[in-house]
Homo-oligomer: A and B are copies of this chain.
Amino acid sequence: MLKNPNYTNLKEQYLFKEITDRTAAYQAAHPDQTILRLGVGDVTRPLPPVIVQAMQQAAAELGQPDTFRGYGPEEGYEWLRRTVVEQDYAPLGVRLEADEVFIGDGAGSDLGNLSELFAQDNSVAIIDPTYPAYADTSVMAGREIMFLPCLAENGFVPELPKQKTDIIYLCNPNNPTGTVLTRSQLKLWVDYARANHSIIIYDAAYESFITQPDVPHSIYEIDGAQEVAIEVKSYSKSAGFTAVRCGYTVVPKATGLQAMWLRRQCTKYNGTSYIAQRAAMATYTPEGREGIRANLEVYRTTAHSLKSGLQDIGYEVYGGIDSPYIWCRAPHGWDSWTFFDHLLQQCQVICTPGVGFGASGEGYVRFSAFSKPDVCAEALQRLKQL
């Protein structure tokens, strides 16, 4: 047996371990100090009661002979796929069929596994900085990657590749910069993909944070996008499902890939937990929607306070409007880790070094509004006194 040789080209993943190690070392040396964590990219607010009840009901069904069920469809239950079409897409003016929606266990799996649908020697373009799994997945598949810098200097809007690119990963709103592509900026990418027979893998995990009217909630709001785009969505960041595990991926038939993805899932996936699918259904109830809205409002308010607070102190900040993330340039031309260490040692505030999200993230850090409001407020107080 020979191992997949591409794995040797992966860069060591040390970002979060390094953060943990440096934080632990500091805490050990200063046991009396309170560390404030503003690095976390994970939700923190509890699920609305109607979602908890839906899961409890689903669990109860599995305990009774008359309501027990086994395997569900690999692509997800039709009641959920139809609801996605009717509740998430129809209001945007996007028409999809239920069999173009595939329920999965979260965006992470699908973003990785979609890579299998393409020939090995396809080229890849990835915005930089962004969620590191796009690049890692492409390296594992042995593909050549072109990185598209997103910097303050270009308004965090990547330039179209000069040459033909086969696979393009876009994250909108982007993690970690919190910045967005507007409808007209995204249209350029759809047009490019149509002209070059490219496929866009569009990660819309943070869609529920969008507030500005010119930012699309789906790539399919752009004419022709159904021919060239796969959209990956998750209940993780919208409904707080990072422990529950549920999301969905839209593979329109017009891409020519719908039957392949169905086959992939029927071969290598046995369907999403019934309990998680029932939880997802509950997000569309009036109580579910209200509970989610209230949670998102807390994160948004925190993001706005954090961003304006950092701005008032004099930091150069981006994002935080259509995103829970604030992207902050390190002062004095420092690199990401220097700024990280400065904040840890001077005011015991933890952020995420931007360089961990790609070379173009160097010189920035990410603050997260998933952190609790009082923690953010206290962190701002400390930062002011620096």
Chain A: residues with CB nearer than 8 A to chain B? 1-5, 7, 10, 13, 42-49, 51-52, 55-56, 59-60, 62-65, 68-72, 105-109, 111-113, 116-122, 133, 136-137, 140, 166-167, 197-199, 236, 240, 242-245, 256-257, 260, 263-264, 266-276
Given known pairs A10-B263, A133-B267, A269-B109, the reply for A62 and B244 (CB within 8 Å) is yes
Count of this chain's copies in the oligomeric assembly = 2
Q: Are B46 and A63 in contact (CB under 8 A)?
A: yes
Q: A271 CA to B243 CA in the complex, in Å?
A: 8
> In the complex, what residues of B have CB within 8 A of residue A42's CB?
70-71
Q: A324 CA to B92 CA in the complex, in Å?
A: 49
Given known pairs A109-B268, A199-B1, A268-B133, the reply for A46 and B59 (CB within 8 Å) is no
Q: Are B52 and A263 in contact (CB under 8 A)?
A: no
Q: Are B68 and A3 in contact (CB under 8 A)?
A: no
Q: Are B273 and A140 in contact (CB under 8 A)?
A: no
Given known pairs A244-B275, A267-B136, A268-B113, the reply for A70 and B55 (CB within 8 Å) is no
Q: A188 CA to B62 CA in the complex, in Å?
A: 41
Q: A146 CA to B149 CA in the complex, in Å?
A: 47
In the complex, what residue of chain B is closest to A370 when comparing beta carbons? B70
Q: A63 CA to B119 CA in the complex, in Å?
A: 44
Contact of A70 among B1, B242, B269 (CB under 8 A): B242
Q: Are A242 and B257 in contact (CB under 8 A)?
A: no
Closest 3 CB pairs of A and B: A112-B268, A108-B270, A52-B63
Q: Are A43 and B70 in contact (CB under 8 A)?
A: yes
In the complex, what residue of chain B is closest to A115 when comparing beta carbons? B268
A2-B121, A51-B63, A273-B273 provided; 7 other pairs, C-beta below 8 A?
A: A68-B240, A70-B242, A112-B267, A113-B268, A137-B267, A273-B275, A273-B276
Q: A242 CA to B70 CA in the complex, in Å?
A: 5
Q: Are A62 and B274 in contact (CB under 8 A)?
A: no
21 inter-chain pairs at a CB distance below 8 angstroms, sorted by A residue, are A1-B167, A2-B118, A2-B119, A2-B121, A4-B120, A7-B260, A43-B70, A47-B62, A55-B55, A72-B243, A105-B245, A106-B270, A108-B269, A108-B270, A109-B109, A112-B268, A236-B270, A243-B274, A273-B276, A275-B275, A275-B276
Q: A52 CA to B275 CA in the complex, in Å?
A: 11
Q: Are A245 and B267 in contact (CB under 8 A)?
A: no
In the complex, what residue of chain B is closest to A119 when comparing beta carbons? B2
* Interface-centre pick from A116, A140, A268 (highest chain B CB count, 10 A): A268
> In the complex, what residues of B have CB within 8 A of residue A46's CB?
62-65, 68
In the complex, what residue of chain B is closest to A41 when comparing beta carbons? B71
Given known pairs A65-B45, A122-B2, A272-B245, the reply for A60 and B71 (CB within 8 Å) is no
Q: Are B4 and A243 in contact (CB under 8 A)?
A: no
Q: A13 CA to B240 CA in the complex, in Å?
A: 37
Q: A267 CA to B13 CA in the complex, in Å?
A: 10
Q: Are A13 and B118 in contact (CB under 8 A)?
A: no
> In the complex, what residues of B have CB within 8 A of residue A167's CB?
1
> In the complex, what residues of B have CB within 8 A of residue A7's CB?
117, 260, 263
